[in-house]
Structures are given as C-alpha cells and as structure tokens.
A and B are shown apart, each in its own frame.
Chain A
Amino acid sequence: MNQKIPFLFLLLGLSALLLGAFFGVLITLQYIYPEFLKETLAFNRLREFHVSTLIGWLILTATGGIYYYISKVLNVPLYSKKLMTIQFSILLICSIAIYFSFLFGKMGGREYLTYHPIISFPILIAWIVFAINYFKTLVGKIQNWPVYLWMWGTGIVFMIYHFSEAHLWLIPSIRENFIRDITVQWKSYGSFVGSWNMLIYGTAIFLMSKIKNENTVGRGKVAFFFYFLGLSNLMFGWAHHTYFIPTQPWIRIVAYAMSMSEWIIFLSIIISWKKSLNQQDKIKGNFAYKFLLATDFWVFVNLFIALLISIPYINLFTHGTHITVAHSMGTTIGINTTILLASAMFIAYKENAKIIESNTKIIKLGYWLFNVALVGFLTMLMLGGVARSKWIFLSDKATSFGEMQTSIQPLIVVFLFFGVVLFIGLLFISIPLIKVFLNKVRKEKSL
C-alpha cells in the first residue's frame, strides 16, 4: 500500500493538535485583554482557527489510524491507494482554504462550520471517497465483523449524513422557519459529534483488543449491546442541547429518555473499573495503555457531568454557561484526545520503539502535565459557569453583562495558566510522535 499517506494523516493531525491548542491560548488572552489582536484578528475569527483546527486533529488522526490498522495490523490490502491519496489531498487543500476563509473574513457558515460553505462540498466528497474505500476494502474480506469495524463504518456513513444535514439551512424552506432551522442545526451537530465519536471509540476498542491480545474484545453480545445503545444516542439523544428551544414537546421528551439510557453505560464503567485496575500490572510500561487508562478516568468524569446536565431541570441552570463548555472540552480533550494519543503512541511504538523508549521521561512528564492541567482547566470552566448561571437567575437586573464578565476575570486568568501547562504537556507528548512519523515519511519512497 501507499505507506506514506497514513503517516501524513497522523502528522497533519498532530500538527493540528499543537496549532489548535496554541490558538486556544491566544483566544483566552483575548478574553483577558480585549484589545489583543482586536484589529488584526478579532475573536470572531480567531476562535474559528481554534475550533476548526482541533476538529481537524480529531478527524485526521482517527482516519490515519484506521488506514494504518486495516493495512498493517489486520493485514487487509486496501481497495484503492489512489482513493486514499485523493482523500488526503482534498482534506489538505480544504484545510488551507478554511484558514484563508478565516484570515480574510470570508465566512458565512454556521457555528463549528463557520468557513465559507462552498468548502464543505469537497469535504463531503472526501468523506464519500473514504466510505467507498472502507467498505470496498472490508466487505467480504473479514467474516463477522468485530464491533470496532462496525463502529468505524457507521461513523463514516453517519458523518456523511450529518455533515450534509448541517447544511440544510441552505434550503429556503428550512431557513425561513427559525425554530425548525436552529433545531435541525443543533440536531446535526450533536449527531456528527456522535459520528466522530464512533470512529474514535472504535479505535479505543481496537487498541484494547490488540494490547491485551484478546480477540474476544469487541465480538461479544455485551460489546454489541453498547454499540447499539451508543448508536441510538447518536441518532436520537442530541436534543438535550435544545431543551429550551420551543420545538414540539415530544422531540424534547425523546431526547430526555434517550439521554437517561446512558446511565447504563455509566454503571457498566463502574462495574468494569476494578477489572481494569487488576490488569494494570500486566501491561505496565505500555504508553498506549497508559493513555487509555486516562481515557477511562475522563469518561467517568465527563459522562457523570453529561448525565447530570441532561436532566432538564439541571440543564435549565447550566445551559448557556461555561459548564456546557466544560462538558464539551472535557469530552474532546479528556476522552477523544487521550484515545487518539494512545492510537498514535501504539503506531509509533510499532514503527520505531527506539525513539519512544529514548523519550520515556519526557512523555511521562507530558502525560502528567496534561492530565493535572486538565483537572484545573475544567474546574475553572465549571466555576465560571456557576458564576454566569448565578448572574442569569439570581442577580438583580442592575448588574450588567460586562460587570458579570469582569467578575469572572480571575477565573479566566487561572484557566489561561492551566491552558498553557496543557499545551506544554501536549508538546512533550507529541514531539517524539512527530519524530517517528516524519522518519517514516522520509523513508517511504512512494507517494
């Protein structure tokens, strides 16, 4: 197969992680010093560099990992190397186009997809190309797919669907009805986050089965029960983001019921907690496993927060505050990022164990900086959310929005401190990985 492309995906993904985190530091500075870059790159554009770049980290790294695992671990020859190269090239060109769109203020999209909507078309083509390559490669080649193959497949298909759905606002009959429009918009966002979660959680199950060398992981009834539960939540559980939009009540009731089904997942995590602790000694020293243990912790914390804020009466006070941001950042940084770092670590170790072993100390330091800083980072967001909620529901009307923002400035300063530490932690972890993947790209002849 064309060996370079999966490594190029991973390299681009890791670069996006570092760049996105750096943009995050810059936008926090704008919170503290409103004049900072205001005339050259105001918050309305700089924030999008941060958001889009980090979405790029998640998608590119997950895709690179999937290509690598199919061809190098499962040893299934890829249907088309050309299609993989085309997919990578489209995404690379679109990434540059998105940056230009923000740089020159030629936007016009919706939240999370704020770049000019025309760029979405080639991105959609890239996903379709991925789908063709994935299914043509695997259908009929592996009997009785393990759950991670199902998860990757559904992640790709549902990403195509929900990414398209996020653009339904371009149709006049949707756009002219504000409530229907905003409902469909946030429905699609909830579900396409669910779609990339399918790609990433599938990667986590794949890694566990390979690290533990147990093929039964991801093949049993329980694995599929949780897969279908997750899939149902992807499809129907999105609407806890929109409890307070005046849609038809049944839409909100379905969302409430679906969200509460996640308590089953939560319970299963607690039950399997002890087991995973017993296994720690067996796999000591494996960085991929170490990152997956961090994932376990962050899943526990974030799922608990998510379940609480999915109860409408609690959501009433947390919605529209930094508590929601803590939930979404906790999920993308705590869960998604630790899984993808585990995946990159697994691949890097397989390709060049020497580089990883010679950087053990710096990776360990990065790992702890990352996790400890994330605790502080999320705590500050939660406290900021409480302050904002108090202002909305308990303050007298004389306190202005500006005064409330000024009152949470000390929290934002501490948040910035933890953000910088988090960035340094990520830098320590990523540099050895980037070294390995750069070496691979240089050594491979074919492009």
Chain B
Amino acid sequence: MGLLFIFVEMEITKKLAHKNKMVMAIIVIVFLGYNFFIYTQEPPIEAQKMSELAILGEKIYQDNNCTACHQFYGLGGYLGPDLTNVISAEGKGSMYVKAFLNSGVKTMPQFNFSEEEKEALVAFLEAVDETGHYPIYEAAQNFGWVSIKYKK
C-alpha cells in the first residue's frame, strides 16, 4: 500500500514538472513577441526624432545625473521639479532654463556649463516637451482607467 502511494505521488510530481515546463515555454514565447513590439513600436505622436544637438543635451543631462533631482513624466528624483513641459509652460521657456543653469539655486549646484552645453540642454528639453503633456490635468476616467491627452 505504501509503495503504491509513493508510486502515485511520483507520477503526479512528474506530470506536474512536465506541465510546469510547458507553461514556462508558452510564457517565454509570448514574452519574446511582446518585447519585439515594445522595442519597435512607434508612439502615437508626431514628435520628430531627436536632433544631434538634443542627443548631446541628453548626454550632458546624464553625465551630470540631473535625474537625481528632476523628472520626466514624473519619473526621477523629487528634490527638483518635473521638466517635461518646462519649455512650453506659461512664464517659463528656454531663457528661464538658462537662467537656472547659470546661477544654480539653493539646492542645485552651479554647473558652469559653456554656452554650447546650455544650448544642447535646451534642445533636449525642447525635444522632450514636444512628446507630450505632464502632469495630465485633463484626464478622462472610466472604471479606474485614464485616457491621456496626446500631443499632436
């Protein structure tokens, strides 16, 4: 009786192991297809590819780790404000950005950027600004879902 019980248990365990491998294979295949779409998707906006100057600006942004304090689309550190729409926001813009870069503030060090570097940073912020809106003040919600406003 004991032997029969062990045999049945072994058979169940074997079947379970086989089933687990099958489930794993299916999930991995779906995952690979999903990744392919994510890597190749075109966002539903008309923003241009970033210019070389904007890419240089992004590099300066990374080299100085601006993300430690600032965010884009709410992603980043919280010591400074979100910069997604700092260029198009009322009362702000490229001169406003440059003024901060020149002087620094209480919490932000003075980075001593050259004029070219400041131009590049502004070009990067302009490119980001063209991609969308954040924060989203006009959000329609339905069953917890939020439809966001895309930039045309």
Q: Give residues in A with beta carbon < 8 Å to B.
A: 30-31, 34-35, 38-39, 42-45, 47-48, 105, 107-111, 114, 144-145, 150, 168, 174-180, 182-184, 186-187, 219, 221, 224, 228, 231-232, 235-236, 241-249, 251, 253-254, 256, 311-316, 319-322, 324-325, 388, 392-393, 397, 401-402, 405
Contact = CB atoms under 8 A, between A and B. Distances in A.
B146 A44 contact: no
Interface of B: 13-14, 16-17, 20, 23-24, 27, 31, 34, 38-39, 41-45, 47, 49-50, 55, 58-59, 62-69, 71-82, 90, 105-107, 109, 127-128, 131-132, 134-137, 139, 141, 144-146, 148, 150-151
A418 B93 CA distance: 39
Tell me whether chain A's interface is mostly helix, strand or loop, or mixed: helix
Contacts of A179: 43, 45, 47, 131-132
A160 to B, nearest CB: 14
Contacts of B136: 244, 316
A92 B139 CA distance: 48
B39 A313 contact: no
Nearest to B62: A108
A219 B65 CA distance: 45
Contact of A319 (B27, B50, B74, B109): B74
Contacts of B72: 182
B145 A312 contact: yes
A224 B12 CA distance: 14
Nearest to B127: A178
Contacts of A232: 27
B44 A246 contact: yes
A31 B106 CA distance: 11
19 contacts: A44-B64, A108-B62, A175-B55, A176-B49, A176-B55, A178-B131, A179-B43, A179-B47, A182-B73, A228-B23, A232-B27, A235-B27, A244-B73, A249-B44, A312-B145, A320-B78, A393-B137, A397-B90, A401-B81
A177 to B, nearest CB: 6
A240 B26 CA distance: 24
Given A177-B49, A178-B50, A114 B107 contact: no
A107 B73 CA distance: 22
Nearest to B52: A176
Nearest to B144: A311
Contacts of A174: 39
Given A107-B63, A245-B132, A224 B79 contact: no
Contact of A47 (B77, B127, B135): B77
A402 B80 CA distance: 8
A86 B76 CA distance: 34
Contact of A43 (B49, B107, B131, B137): B107
Nearest to A111: B67
Contacts of A105: 64
B101 to A, nearest CB: 14
A322 B107 CA distance: 18
Given A43-B69, A243-B146, A322 B78 contact: yes
